[in-house]
Amino acid sequence: MAANFYLSSHANYHLHPRSALLAARVDDLRHATEQEIAWVEIWSGSVIQKLCKRLGLRQQVIATAIVYFRRFYLRNAYCDTDCALVAAACCYVAAKAEETPVHVKSAVAEAKMVFHDMGLAFPSDNTKLAEMEFYLIEELDFHLIVFHPYRSLVQLCGRDGGPSAGGEQGRLNRQAMLEMDEPALQMAWFIINDTFRSSLCLVHPPHLIALAAIYLAFSLHPPSSVVKETASTNLKDPSISGPASRTRRRSTDVAPSAAPRAHATTSSTVATTVPTVGGRTDAITFLASLQVDHSLILEIVQDVISLYELWNQLEASAQATSPSSTGSQGGPSAAPVSRISIGGGAGRTTSVSADEKVVIILARMMKDRHRELQSEKGGRGATGWKK
């Protein structure tokens, strides 16, 4: 069951329509905007990554922890729960599920340091995290096996390192794999990392997310066959080696945060890919031959581009809300970073992070929710993980 995605609990119980995601945010949307809720999702992915890195956990564990967090909040509201405790529990349980367990004392100690830097209190009592572990597993319906797009990515590119058939069958299998050089593969990997800042893992199966990452990666880093074909064409016909070719070369070096612009400028380049002689399948032939709904892949691509825009807006908003900011404000095109320093005059600077911005939003949401429950006089009593 763990080896077959279509027979797994992931495929049968944890892929939801977008309407289910909207229904899960009904309580939160009374106290925050859709944009702020999206910022909370970005923040949660970043904070889980920070905590897992401090615990020395690999990317597979980080991805699993984020998926647990998303599944938990499909049934709970941000304004009703302690997000810091839930995030720490997700990391703790994911480490066990991925067979790289950490001690509860280490998890609590590192979580206290991570959340203290953001202005969030975290309980020192180890039993709180241990108790939250059981709440979390129950909310997950004890479904702990998660499939990630990373496996699909390396399999599609023939980089999984597993046993391969020999002879003619092995040669045909290798030729059916996608031609993808190292920069494009790394870009696709980074894009998959970024998708965990959203709820895509709750809506789409991992292989479609991997294909969308490949599409975006080729938009930013065209295959070597395309580059060689373009260079050969330019040598034969110098009249076309003008601004268009220079734009194409520049587009291969942009960062992921510039995906919307690069996607527009390089889509025609990807469409001109030609099959490689004696090598693997070229990009356009490979993508066209897949028996998948291409409209879903393009939908995921658009969601990823929108995610980068939201990420940039969060950074710009964090900078704009600096208490003593009088310098110039960074626009939405600035790349997502972990912290922004703002000049407020000579010898006077203020540093405001996106993490602190989201913590303020969460505190406001919980305060408003508490007032709402008080006014209704029928609110739920608080437990160890519900505020």
Q: Residue 126, exposed/middle/buried by CB under 10 A (0-12, 13-18, 19+)?
A: middle
- Of 168, 170, 148, 150, the closest CA to residue 159 belongs to 150
Place of tokens 């292989």: 207
Q: Which of 35-44, 170-179, 350-359 has the lowest mean pLDDT?
A: 170-179
| pLDDT over 90, % of the chain | 56
**Class of residue 189 by CB neighbours under 10 A (exposed 0-12, middle 13-18, buried 19+):** middle
CA angle 261, 266, 271 (to 5 degrees): 145
Residue 380 is predicted with a pLDDT of 55
Q: Higher confidence at residue 204 or residue 181?
A: 204
- Structure token digits, residue 46: 């970043």
130 in Cβ contact with 137 (< 8 Å): no
- The pLDDT assigned to 331 comes to 37
The pLDDT of 236-258, averaged and rounded, is: 42
Cα–Cα dist 113/93, whole Å: 19
Instruction: Considering only CA atoms, give the Rg of the chain.
Output: 23
Q: Which fold has domain 5-139?
A: Cyclin A; domain 1 (1.10.472)
pLDDT at position 326: 37
Return the percentage of the chain with pLDDT > 70, whole number. 68
The pair of three-digit structure tokens given for residue 244, joined into one six-digit string: 């268009």
User: Distance (Å, rounded) from C-alpha 320 to C-alpha 329?
Assistant: 6
Reported as a single tens digit per residue, the pLDDT across 301-322 is 999 999 999 999 999 988 766 5
| pLDDT tens-digit readout, 64-115 | 999 999 999 999 999 999 999 999 999 999 999 999 999 999 999 999 999 9
Start-end ranges of CATH 1.10.472.10 in the chain? 5-139
CATH architecture under which domain 149-307 falls: Orthogonal Bundle (1.10)
For the stretch 328-361, pLDDT in tens is: 333 333 333 333 232 333 333 345 689 999 999 9
